[in-house]
Amino acid sequence: MKRREFVAGGAAIAASMALPAQAAYPDRTAHYIIPFAPGGESDIAARYQQVVWRKKFNQELVVESKPGAGGALAWSLLNGYPGDGYTMMGTNLPHLVLQPLEGNVQYKTEDIAPVYFFQYTADAIVVPESSPFKTFQDLANAAKENPEKVTLAGSGTFSANHMATERLNKLLGVKITYVPFKGTGELSASVAGGHVSGAMSYLPFAIQQKGKMRPLVIATEKRHPVFPDVPTFRELGFNWVDGAYRGIAVPKPTPREIQKQVSDMMHAVNQDPAMRKQLTEGGYDLIDITLEQMPAFLAEKSRAYVEDAKAAGLLK
């Protein structure tokens, strides 16, 4: 599946993000809730953003983790917080679209008010250094010979990791067993300890675990410089450039003008050169989806996710 990107026009964004000189917001500590356990991609990105927020706005940004149900626990609580711009929550796609359709979560997609998407991370299959699977073909052969015996850990259900594993099953005509964890950080020990065959994770995870684990294949447009010997799915004959999108949401009752302020401020944070360099080198692709672009972006992504889920047999 080809990844669709939305990139904002520089001049238009520069004009829209300019805040009035007299604006008081933020004049106190803001809270940034991450719906996954510490140590995963969402948490790592938030820690970089926290530093830049302090530098740009001279206020604290407290990062808190509230893991559970693949992010669904936190998202179900979002609208219980004040809509004053001082509580933000990390968001993930395809989670926000697919979890409610599956029916076992306490929120609906329309309950969430995303104001900005800042990042994309490509899918990557990672195994321990001790794994007998030296190549992607080794893993594929084992999955064909031993149905359900090959296991891949991932973050949450009806998540990017879950969907990628189901897509892999469909492409290979096999049955690899998906093992969900609360977040990327929690699955590391299980993979390293050999409790699962590997992980359906992301490129940043592969980079962080270099030397302890190795990627077999990545879902990028081209090979990554950190792993020049690791092929892309496209090189192996699969039209697969995909992964997870991350952004920021606020409680839905938050007034539109405050939603725009949060969107503009997070956009300003995302332009910090030092942070962008660190994240890019770490395997993150930076994007800029602002509040104005949000309806079209979500509509297009939602259509694609629902089609994928139906094709994988996860939805009727």
Confidence category of residue 6, pLDDT binned at 50, 70, 90:
very low
Query: Higher model confidence: residue 14 or residue 88?
Result: 88
Measure CA of the first residue to CA of the last residue in the chain; give whole Å. 20
For the stretch 162-214, pLDDT in tens is 999 999 999 999 999 999 988 787 899 999 999 999 999 999 999 999 999 99
CATH architecture of 122-236: 3-Layer(aba) Sandwich (3.40)
- The dihedral region occupied by 108, where left means phi > 0, alpha psi between -120 and 50, and beta the remainder, is beta
Are 2 and 239 a contacting pair, CB within 8 Å?
A: yes
- Selection from 305, 292, 261, 282 nearest residue 119 by Cα: 282
Q: Which helix (H) or strand (E) holds 44?
A: helix 41-57
Specify burial of residue 46 (Cβ count, 10 A radius: 0-12, 13-18, 19+).
buried
**In the prediction, which pLDDT does 188 show?**
92
**In the prediction, which pLDDT does 157 show?**
86
> Is the pLDDT score of 7 beyond 90?
no
**In the prediction, which pLDDT does 24 show?**
75
Are 115 and 292 a contacting pair, CB within 8 Å?
A: no
For residues 7-32, give the mean pLDDT: 60
SS3 85: coil
**What superfamily does domain 10-120+243-311 belong to in CATH?**
Bordetella uptake gene, domain 1 (3.40.190.150)
Annotated domain spans of the chain: 10-120+243-311, 122-236
Q: What is the mean pLDDT of the chain?
A: 91
Q: Do domains 10-120+243-311 and 122-236 have the same CATH topology?
A: yes
Q: Tell me, what DSSP letter sits at residue 238?
A: -
Are 213 and 191 a contacting pair, CB within 8 Å?
A: yes
**Beta-strand pair 87-93/243-250:** antiparallel
- Residues sharing a CB contact under 8 Å with residue 142, sequence separation 6 or more, in sequence order: 132, 133, 149, 150, 197
Q: What is the pTM of this model?
A: 0.84
Neighbours of 228 (CB within 10 A): 7
Neighbours of 245 (CB within 10 A): 25
Q: Tell me, what DSSP letter sits at residue 287?
A: E
For the stretch 105-128, pLDDT in tens is 999 999 999 999 999 999 999 999
SS3 311: helix
- Residues sharing a CB contact under 8 Å with residue 229, sequence separation 6 or more, in sequence order: none
Are 111 and 55 a contacting pair, CB within 8 Å?
A: no
- The dihedral region occupied by 241, where left means phi > 0, alpha psi between -120 and 50, and beta the remainder, is beta
Sign of the C-alpha dihedral, residues 196, 197, 198, 200? negative
For the stretch 252-263, pLDDT in tens is 999 999 999 999
Task: Report the alpha-carbon distance of residue 101 to residue 225 in Å, rounded.
Answer: 38
Neighbours of 90 (CB within 10 A): 26
- Selection from 239, 170, 201, 164 nearest residue 2 by Cα: 239
**In the prediction, which pLDDT does 23 show?**
53
Percent of all residues in the chain with a pLDDT value above 70, rounded to a whole number: 93
Confidence category of residue 129, pLDDT binned at 50, 70, 90:
very high
